[in-house]
C-alpha cells in the first residue's frame, strides 16, 4: 500500500468517530517537510533519534465549526444539518470553554480511531510529548481558530506486538462506586 492510501485509511478511520451534532471538528496537518518534522521530533521529550517517520500528523480541531454545520456535517441529510446547526448554536454560541472541550473530546475519539487503524495496518504510533504547544502552532501556522490536540508519529519501525494483558476485573463496579 502506498503512502497516500495509508494516509487515506488513517483519516477515514478518524471520520468514523462519534461527534456532537455530527460536527466533525477535526482537521489534519500531514507534516511532510523534513525540516519541520525534525523540529517537531527534536522538541518532543519522548523521541530519541529513531529514524525517519512515515507520517507526522498534527490533529487540530476547528473551534468555530458549529457556525458552519453544513460544511462540517456533509455526511448527513440537509434536515439533520439544519437541526445540528440549531442545537449547536444553542450550546456553543455563548460558551467558548464548552466549544474547546467538545473539539478536544471529538478529536480524542478521532485520534483513537486512527491509532487502532494504524495498528491494523501494521504501523506503530507514538504521540509526541511537546513541552511547548505554541511552538507547534507557530511552526505549522495554526491560528487561534483551531485547537492543537496532538502530534503523532506513525512508522513501521515503531510497530511492535502489543503485550498480552488480562483486564483487571476489580476495575469494574456495578451500578456505581
Q: How many residues does the chain have?
A: 177
Report the sign of the C-alpha dihedral through residues 76, 67, 99, 8, in that order.
positive
Which ranges of the chain would DSSP assign to H, the alpha helix? 3-14, 34-43, 69-72, 78-92, 96-120, 133-139
For the domain made up of 3-161, the CATH class stated in words is alpha beta
Please count the other Cβ atoms lying within 10 Å of the Cβ belonging to residue 44. Answer: 18
What confidence score (pLDDT) does residue 49 get? 65
Judge whether 71 and 62 are in contact, CB under 8 Å: no
**Residue given cell 492543537 in the structure block:** 148
pLDDT at residue 105, as a whole number: 92
Mean pLDDT, contiguous 10-residue spans, the chain (177 residues): 94 90 89 94 76 89 85 78 87 89 92 93 88 91 93 76 71 85
**β partners of residue 5:** none
Number of neighbours of residue 61 by Cβ within 10 angstroms: 26
pLDDT at 160: 58
C-alpha cell at 117: 487503524
Exposed (0-12), middle (13-18) or buried (19+): which is 108, by Cβ within 10 Å? middle
The grid coordinates listed for 73 are: 456535517
pLDDT value of residue 148: 93
- C-alpha–C-alpha distance, residues 58 and 153, integer Å: 9
Residue 70: the pLDDT is 74
Nearest to 10 by CA among 106, 121, 104, 148: 121
- Res 107: pLDDT: 93
Q: 11 and 113 in contact (C-beta within 8 Å)?
A: no
Position 33 scores a pLDDT of: 95
pLDDT score of 165 = 67
Amino acid at each position: 500500500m502506498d503512502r497516500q492510501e495509508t494516509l487515506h485509511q488513517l483519516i477515514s478511520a478518524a471520520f468514523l468517530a462519534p461527534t456532537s451534532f455530527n460536527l466533525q471538528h477535526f482537521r489534519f496537518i500531514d507534516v511532510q517537510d523534513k525540516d519541520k518534522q525534525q523540529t517537531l521530533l527534536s522538541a518532543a521529550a519522548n523521541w530519541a533519534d529513531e529514524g525517519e517517520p512515515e507520517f507526522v500528523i498534527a490533529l487540530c480541531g476547528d473551534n468555530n465549526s458549529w457556525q458552519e454545520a453544513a460544511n462540517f456535517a456533509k455526511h448527513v441529510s440537509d434536515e439533520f444539518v439544519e437541526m445540528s446547526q440549531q442545537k449547536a448554536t444553542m450550546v456553543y454560541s455563548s460558551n467558548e470553554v464548552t466549544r474547546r472541550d467538545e473539539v478536544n473530546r471529538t478529536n480524542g475519539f478521532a485520534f483513537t480511531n486512527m491509532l487502532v487503524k494504524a495498528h491494523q495496518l501494521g504501523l506503530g504510533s507514538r504521540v509526541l510529548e511537546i513541552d511547548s504547544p505554541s511552538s507547534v502552532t507557530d511552526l505549522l501556522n495554526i491560528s487561534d481558530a483551531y485547537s492543537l490536540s496532538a502530534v503523532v508519529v506513525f512508522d513501521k519501525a515503531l510497530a511492535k506486538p502489543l503485550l498480552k494483558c488480562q483486564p483487571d476485573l476489580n476495575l469494574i463496579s456495578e451500578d456505581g462506586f
